[in-house]
Structure 1
Amino acid sequence: MADFLYRLHALRPRGLAGYLALAFSALSIVLTVVVVAVVEREASRHVTQTIGHGLGELALQASDKLDRGMFERYREVSLIARRFSRADADLSHDGLRALLDDVRDTYSYYSWIGLTDLQGKVMVSAGGLLEGADVSRRPWFKEGGSGGHVGDVHEALLLARLLPQHGSEPVRFVDVAFPIYDLDGRPTGVLGAHLSWQWARDVERSIIAPLQSQRNVDALIVGANGTVLLGPPELLGARIDVGRLRVRHPGAQSGYALQRWPDGKTYMVGFSRSRGYADYPGLGWTVLVREDLDSAFVPVRRLRSYGLWSGVALALLFSLAGVFLARWITRPLMQLKREAARIQDGDGTALTARMRGYDEVQTLTRALNNLLLVLQRRQAQMEELNLTLEQRVEDRTQALAQALAAVQRNEQRIATIIETAQDAFIGIDLRGMVIDWSSQAERLFGWSHGEALGRSLGELVVPQRFQCSFAKALQRFHDTGHLGIFERRAERIVRDRRGNELSVEMTVRLAGADGARFFSIFVHDISLRKKVEQMKNELVATVSHELRTPLTSMRASLSLLASNAIDGVPDDARELVDIAHRHCERLVRMVNDMLDVQKIESGKVQLNRSMQPVLPVVRDAVAAMQGYAQQAGVEIVCGGSCDEALRAEVDGDRLTQVITNLLSNAIKFSPPGERVVVELGRHREGLRLAVLDRGPGIPADFRSQIFGRFAQADDEGVRRQGSGLGLSISKTIVEEHGGHLGFSDREGGGTAFHVYLPLAGSE
């Protein structure tokens, strides 16, 4: 192998003349290949269009002849029906049969023709075939009695054993039927005719047979459902996707296309869709005429062979001419090469003016002379530059020293700012290792600067239960480039050297340039603030618990008075009792809401979840709010299709609390006489529960704080009736179930609140 490569390398051209000769030969070969390819492509396109248009024209002629033939049969049966409508009513049974026999003998394409009564019983037929048979279920009888019918090709059913069979093909018909009327214009029956499908073979032979002696052409007739009705025996009854043929000619009734068929061959297929003729509506047939490409492209292959051999001859001729031309072109260059070698040997004199040749050689001679002068000038400059090099190096060194001093001053200034800041500063590399540790960090965590450097931040300050999340966050940053807490303050739990946990706010940013990036972390201790918030929550919880006992007694007493359990209460006092009862109920709800908020903030919310149907929970909540809705003049209805099979793992009491809060808000904001609609169904996110009202909607400036605690819009008389905690509590309960709560505007006015919960695993 090595010897072969050496010999091949030895055969390569040694000079410009050889390369030019090789270029001429290669160019002639490439030109030959391009010409042959272009000629073959154009010839193929021309032959394809010629054959395609010819086959499409044949298909159009056959389709037109089929439509005209069917029109003649359609008109014949219509005229025969009119003839029988005008026939003498007293004509005997044998007389009618004689007339039908005469019709069948006159029109040889009819395999069967007969008359039925209005109930579908064959009264008389040509040859007596099927007389007395019940054809009321046949499509030609049902549709023929309503004004005329022509049906698609089908195999014989009742007549299959009674009629002679032509060859191996099954007996097939095209049904044509028209109603029969008496002299007063009343329908008396149906005239039905079974047109033999053999007449389509005659159409095929009249158009395709003359062409088959010269070319390999097949004709097919395809029904509206894609079934081959007529064609080669191996394709009869097969299904063909005719729609694919019309892709190149959208909207056209005829055309052509290349298509690969199940036999593995590619055919040029011309097609034409039946459009009917005159009052014959057509049956949606498609006529296909196909020709094998192997026989169609014989002229193209001959032309390609001729072009290839012509190209080879031209390539050899150009190669010989290229050798002589290359030698003539390179003669001045060889002389120039000798002059250049003289200069290389140290002769600094310019090239002689006796150089002869074409313009390029003269230009190259002048360029070499100019280059020689420039080289001599540069050599003199180099000698002068060596004398001043030491001074320039000293100047550059001094400039670098000044820049380094400026960088050091800047670093010292940044370090001073960090050390005097109230927040602790920590710098870690992309692996999570500490690279900077301020004095505030030493005081906050108890680790000195030297002890912290080079250690993992997770081991130093992250509690054990959060270290796995810390490692996953770093890995997610390396995978996606996103840490999740950039550019915002986040509350976190950390620990100091003694293991005490601290509540802090921290800000993380990515700093540094490529190759030296690190995380800049500022930490602010908020432990004292958290203790104050805890004391506030405990005070609210204590006050709420202390209020529940007297409120319960007051609520029970006022309920007795409001429900007329005690007689003798004056009417004016009863109105005051109702007012006190309503406000007591409101106060109880506010205390319960505040207790729920205290449980949420302290993390004591416990959900007793179990797998259960969701619809009963919805119905219980709706039933509980019916009284409140009646007082407000609002109706609560279940809309849509509420699926009773929907199951989810939920806390029924807490979910009832969510639905009650949403219904309460919807009732408060709905005008009297309106409806509040509750919907329950499936969704791509699982289970979807919706409460829809026709209220005034949510103001744009209030949307961002609607789920906040004690959040209420400034709508007097309506929105100030609650504590402003219901939606916040409901959102927390839904999220504890693994779902989410949202809202949107309803078309036509109003608001829709949506609860999305995960379905049971079995669903």
Structure 2
Amino acid sequence: MAGQRSLAHRFAYAAAALSGAVLLLSALSSWLLIERQQQLATRILTQREAGMNAQVLQIALTALDKRLNEAANSSLMANALVDSAGRQMYLHPYLRDMRSINGITLHILFADFEGKPIASIGDIALDAAQNSWLQAQIQSGQAQTSIFTQSNRSWLLMSGLMVYSRTQSPEGALVYKIALDDLQKLVTGKLLWGTQRAPAGAGELIVLRTPPAMQSLGLKLWQAQGQSISDARETSLGLILLFAAGASLIVLALGLRLAPALTRDVRELDDFARSIVQNGFGQMRAQVAGSHEVNSLAQSINHMLDKLHEQHQKLQQETEARYRLLVEGARVIYWEAAPEHFTLHYLSPQSASVTGWSQAQWLAPDFWQSHIHAEDWPALQAARRHISQGATGDNYQIEYRLQKPDGTWLWLEEIGSLAQDDGQSRLRGILLDIDMRKQSEARLAQERSRTDKMKSEFISTVSHELRTPLTSIRGALGLILGGAAGQITPQSQKLLTVAQSNCLRLLQLINDLLDIDKIASGKMEFNLQWLSLVELVQRALEENQSYAANYGVQYHLQIEIAPSRQVKLDAMRFMQVMANLLSNAAKFSPPNGVVEVRISSRDDMLRVEVTDHGSGIGPEFKAKIFQKFSQQDSSDTRAKGGAGLGLAISKALIEQMGGIIGFDSIPQQATTFHIELPG
């Protein structure tokens, strides 16, 4: 018995030594695991906070760039460039409406093509360097964004150039001046640009995705890493390593002598610890079984895992709290939703003050479809469906009307993007109240309509008042040239011929202006009849043959349909269109050239083609050829004369008669204008 007790003691001592060694090793593994999890959690928190701050800045910069380009390209600003007498009535109110975007205060300058101020809002005084910067952009025609230091403050200067389609050169510029301090207030990180370096210490540096005009600034966001949330260590790492080394020697010595069965339970715990290190702890717990010492060790490990789980949940709650604090402090509605059916997971409290609907009402399943305007709902559905099928980082932007509790409609702008959160796809974005902007646009549209009506009435009145005396002058010149006033000298005859020619051109211009006015107001009358297309084209060629002879040009007619084929049209208006096409072809043909006229059919449409072999139409002018007062900008074209109204009138007349007009052109070879009419 004594021997047995002695052996039992030896095994007890061995088991105790082995358990102690395993305990030290497990404690070290657990310490390392805790340290690793805490560092990882701190880094994830910093990355998320940096990502949210970067997204806020990117959305703000994109909104600034978009609003600047919309304002610079608006017809109101274009009118203000030339309307020096009347722009004071609408320009300053329009600029004041743009003074703040997403809570960012804007200082706005409206300048002419020389960079001279026309109007301004806020502290927009530019120093010499900033003036040079603005003038250089206007001269180069390239809008850029730059950062300047003025009065010990850094300023972001953005420009939008106002380019006329007729001249293709800047006629003015709209400048935003924004204090970088205002952008910095939107986020908790530090905004960097250019060659500025991030501060020393751990953290995340994110390069902001900005509009093309801002990419040269090199904007970045530095988010300093927060301090670790780990508890105070009771045992130094050196002491733990020292004990672990001694225990390892003991385990090695005893393991060589003791049976493998002694270490079976310990090996199971070791395997469990390794699986935790590799796969994370999650809901895994050590099995409490075996000897008393191993059971005690398993319970200790489970207790530490429970603590880790609690700390992990605490980290998630703190992350969520910081995110909510960030979005709820902003002056916009932030939301988060599942991409499949756009089920809202979060909506910032500003939704109630902006729209009148509470958060609970917003979260109702049928809220969107029942409160979005019926005309806007399909487009909103399509945008959300498209983004839900896209890739991470894709975004969308759409405007729509939301019905408020009092029955009125509120214009909102929705900006959203697809993101990944813990392996799951999420839609995140903002809702902006753009109702005041829409009201301003509606007022501008009404004012533009009133102005266009006044302009049309003015043109009509002036044209009628000019046509009567010009007709008399034309008749008088014709009588004098015909000898009614007696014989005239050759020099006088030459001068009178020039005067008569210019009088005819002026009458044609007035007639074109009156036609444009009638078409625009819907007062143009058409006498539609079924007529032979071949006979009409032949008559048009006869009436314009003398005009072609003045340029040394001949018309060649090719008929590929039966002469009896008829079309329903107004003969006088069709002859007006053919006269324009034939005269243009003659003017732009080379001397002794031939203008080819072809009549053919395609399915149930009859087609008339007029082809000249002149210099052709440049690619940059093709999109504008049917616009009013459009002329190809070349010395050869200018020398041919004309006001640039003929093709615009021809297109309107053909379309009013149910037809189609178009053209094909190969530069320096040939140009073909074609008309298609149902017949």
State if a TM-score over 0.5 links the two structures. no
Structure index of larger Rg: 1
TM-score grouping bracket, smaller chain normalisation: 0.3 to 0.5
Using structure 1 for the length normalisation, give the TM-score: 0.39
Using structure 2 for the length normalisation, give the TM-score: 0.44
